[in-house]
Amino acid sequence: MPTPQVTRPSLHNATEASSAVPTGLQIGALQLANPVVLAPMAGVTDLPLREICVDLGASMAVAEMLTSDSKLLSSRKSTLRRCHSSRGGLRSVQIVGSEPQQLADAARHNADDGADIIDINMGCPAKKVCKKAAGSALLADERRVAEILNAVVSAVNVPVTLKIRTGISAQHRNGVAIAKIAEDAGIQLLTVHGRTRADRFKGEAEYQTITDIVDSVNIPVLANGDITTPEKALAVLEQTGAAGIMIGRGALGRPWLPGVIAQFLSGARTTEPSLTERFLQMRKHLTALHDFYGDFMGVRIARKHIGWFFDAAETDLSEDFSSWKRHFNALENTEAQQTLLHTLELHCSGSDSPSTNQKNELAA
């Protein structure tokens, strides 16, 4: 396995953020410390990732979407997605479905279970969600949107938030109409991904529709989509006038990104995390995954998260980590995974070469 010649990532000093940039975020009666939130991502924002992102400065981390179908609440997947801890910060639970009463019942169940916020998913473009007339498919039926929002808001005493896209397609961006329906129903915060349902994740996010939505309602709006740097976050906030930023795929392999953006927006001088800090966080994340899922599932789920770390490192450091990634994905136990990360850190930092025992473990 080749040793990449890697230098430390460049450090970017932050310029002072605009005085118009929000310093906190209000959701109903709840006050968040800063305006940067980690997006809910199915199969991604499990409890270990939410905890680490909040530890590193995200004001809130929204959990993976939960089905509103009560028959599936006791499944292994739903049970794991409902796990929460004090380290995870405010408990925002996202629900998905298409039937107003079913969603209302799901909201009530989760609020009774301790949710601080109920978030409704009307933004997911996945085929398996949309074919059930849920997620972003609902944007095509404004009457049903109103029925769902009114039912859920009436069912609970905690703030209800909503995540949408800019519309159905480029020819039918009805995000402003949906936003007005949401405000009328009592939604306390709206997140808008700058793509339509038809776009899925193709092309570049656009923010003009988000600007139009911000101008059309009096509830806080979070801008989401293609925000991968502090500078981009500031530019989007200044363009849209949004109350805050939601970070999604940009945090894959970079759990520190929401916190770095929050610090930048506060006007503080910020730097990208050093190589040592990156590996420290990844080792902590790896340990948390093993503890949460157990040895068998933890090893396998770690391949996904650490794989994103390798992908991010390739982009940030302009080096090829593909062979390390392949080797990591072939490992079958927690100790070997930790050893590989430690060995790679030694290589990247130019520290002492791995010991013979470490080499033997990697070759096993």
The answer to whether 259 and 57 have CB atoms below 8 angstroms apart is yes
Distances (CA, A) of 99 to 68, 92, 130, 137, 138: 9, 21, 13, 13, 10
Q: Return the closest-CA partner of residue 313 out of 352, 263, 340, 278.
A: 278
Rounded Cα distance, 160 and 149, in Å:
9
Active site residues: 124
DSSP bridge partners of 121: 163
Q: Return the closest-CA partner of residue 240 out of 258, 221, 227.
A: 221
- Lay out the sheet containing 160-165: strands in order across: 60-61, 36-38, 244-247, 221-224, 189-193, 160-165, 117-122, 92-96, 66-67
Reduced 3-state DSSP string for 152-170: HHHHCCCCEEEEEECCCEC
